[in-house]
Structure 1
């Protein structure tokens, strides 16, 4: 029993150490952190999921009086753009996103 506990805690400490190293690396390296965040953002905001897009668009348009010139700060992967695309009240749309890694998902 004691040997199994030692092996379990030894394995667990190695896993925790590897996670800490990975987090430390991402904290120091902006490029990979932004790339990982852009990939994660794209996964959770899938524009091909029509049920979620319907909910998103209905909520976005229902709770806001979107018209004229629209400025979206932190537009991410541009997930809100399809919701606003066919809105005839919008004259122009500008999305500002500081993470250049998200641009490939537009």
Structure 2
């Protein structure tokens, strides 16, 4: 199998969330986060630029103190070092892309 088709296991990310790297290279990474209802992505920040796509579910997000709700088909970009987090209002999946790659997820 070519290296670019490598598969990664889903891992427990805590707070009723699982994380699975879908693809990656040095410059970019795509990750699926699966949330149970009430699952929490705790407030945090990182130097990576993050683009988030809501595949399913409803989420309450906070970015730099601004709160908003998102649902299927919504997407947005989180700037580098911006404090952000979310709570699943219903079960769902977020697809996040990071640049550069999140080496801490490997």
- With normalisation by structure 1, the TM-score equals 0.26
- Which is higher, the Rg of structure 1 or of structure 2? 1
Structure number having the greater helix percentage: 1
> 1 or 2, which has the higher strand percentage?
2
Give TM-score scaled by structure 2 length.
0.26
